């Protein structure tokens, strides 16, 4: 697992009222979940106007109504009870964070005991805030 502070330096930035992960190298940072992490859950580094951004409330990945959104508290990827959800404090298989080159940066989860928890305090605070909204 690459360190979040190594090749790519992630920063939690403010865009209006939204927050996004950015990379100083311009790499697209994405999350995948589900069986073998084949389900695309959106782009963390995209701005809130891009269709696949988790910040685009009108897009498939930022909407709280879409089944494959981390914001859908009734879906597999937003529920506090799903083992695939970043919002489950006991999740065994939360979403992975990867870049477009396939580099793995950790798991997006509020489960502080997960051995692959992403080690970025800003990103951890962001997902904690997302999960607290339900």
Tens place of pLDDT per residue across the chain (134 aa) = 444 333 334 444 443 334 456 555 677 999 999 999 999 999 999 999 999 999 999 999 999 999 999 999 999 999 999 999 999 999 999 999 999 999 999 999 999 999 999 988 989 999 999 998 75
Residue 1 is assigned to a structural domain of this protein: no
Q: What gap in Å lies between CA 82 and CA 94, rounded to an integer?
A: 9
Residue 124 is assigned to a structural domain of this protein: yes
**Residues of the chain by 3-state class (helix, strand, coil), percent to 5:** 10, 25, 65
Residue 35 near residue 96 (C-beta atoms within 8 A): no
Q: Is 40 helix (H, G, I), strand (E, B) or coil?
A: strand
Residue 4 is assigned to a structural domain of this protein: no
* Beta carbons within 10 angstroms of residue 46's beta carbon: 23
Residue 5 is assigned to a structural domain of this protein: no
Residue 113 is assigned to a structural domain of this protein: yes
Residue 2 is assigned to a structural domain of this protein: no
Q: Is the pTM of this model over 0.85?
A: no
What are the start-end ranges of the H helices in 63-132?
A: 121-132
Residue 52 is assigned to a structural domain of this protein: yes
Look at the chain and report how many structural domains it folds into: 1
Residues spanned by the domain of 28: 10-132
Residue 26 is assigned to a structural domain of this protein: yes
């Amino acid at each position: 697992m690459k360190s979040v502070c190594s090749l790519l330096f992630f920063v939690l930035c403010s865009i209006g009222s939204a927050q996004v992960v950015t990379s100083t190298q311009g790499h697209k940072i994405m999350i995948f979940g589900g069986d073998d992490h084949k389900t695309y859950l959106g782009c963390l580094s995209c701005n809130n106007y891009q269709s696949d951004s988790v910040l685009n409330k009108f897009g498939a990945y930022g909407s709280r109504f879409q089944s494959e959104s981390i914001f859908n508290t009734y879906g597999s990827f937003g529920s506090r009870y799903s083992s695939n959800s970043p919002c489950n404090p006991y999740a065994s298989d939360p979403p992975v964070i990867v870049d477009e080159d396939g580099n793995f940066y950790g798991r997006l989860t509020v489960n502080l005991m997960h051995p692959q928890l992403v080690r970025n305090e800003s990103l951890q605070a962001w997902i904690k805030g997302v999960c607290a909204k339900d």
